[in-house]
Amino acid sequence: MSGFKAIGSKLSKSNTLCNDAWRYFKTYAKDKGLEHYSFKSEGNERVKELYHIQNVNNYHSRLKVWMDRFNAVATKYLDHYLGCFNFLDVIRFRKNSSSVSKMVIDSCLVSINATYKK
């Protein structure tokens, strides 16, 4: 699974993996020695202790609504769309013009090293 190669180097045994009910995550977490919590989308249990996936579900929902305005997105430009969405998503919490100006300038200075081929 290529997705696990991408995040695998970022995880350590001090991390807790929280996901929807996809069974492969349980096997992956066990193999890597990670604490693991699984949440079924149709289930009533949405929180276990302090763990949940509601922030991810909410972010995914906002992203889908935003992406719907584009009829199709070429995979090679996906990084740019995601970067633009993330920028717009972050600045909606920033109300003063100086922080928005700083974010615009800072975003122009960031180089995108990861591509769809990586």
pLDDT digits (tens, 9 = 90+) for 13-27: 888 888 887 778 888
Q: How confident is the model at residue 110 (pLDDT cuts 50, 70, 90)?
A: low
Quote the CA–CA distance of 40 and 100 in Å, as a whole number: 38
Mean pLDDT of 33-60: 80
* Structure confidence at residue 98 (pLDDT): 74
What H or E segment, with its residue span, contains residue 108?
A: helix 97-109
Angstrom CA distances, 1 to 5, 6, 24, stand at 7, 9, 10
Residues 35, 16 contacting (CB under 8 angstroms): yes
CA–chain centroid gap for 65, Å, is 15
Band of residue 62 on the pLDDT scale cut at 50, 70, 90 = very high
For residue range 70-83, what is the model confidence (pLDDT) as tens digits?
A: 888 888 888 888 88
Asked whether the beta carbons of 8 and 32 are under 8 A apart, the reply is yes
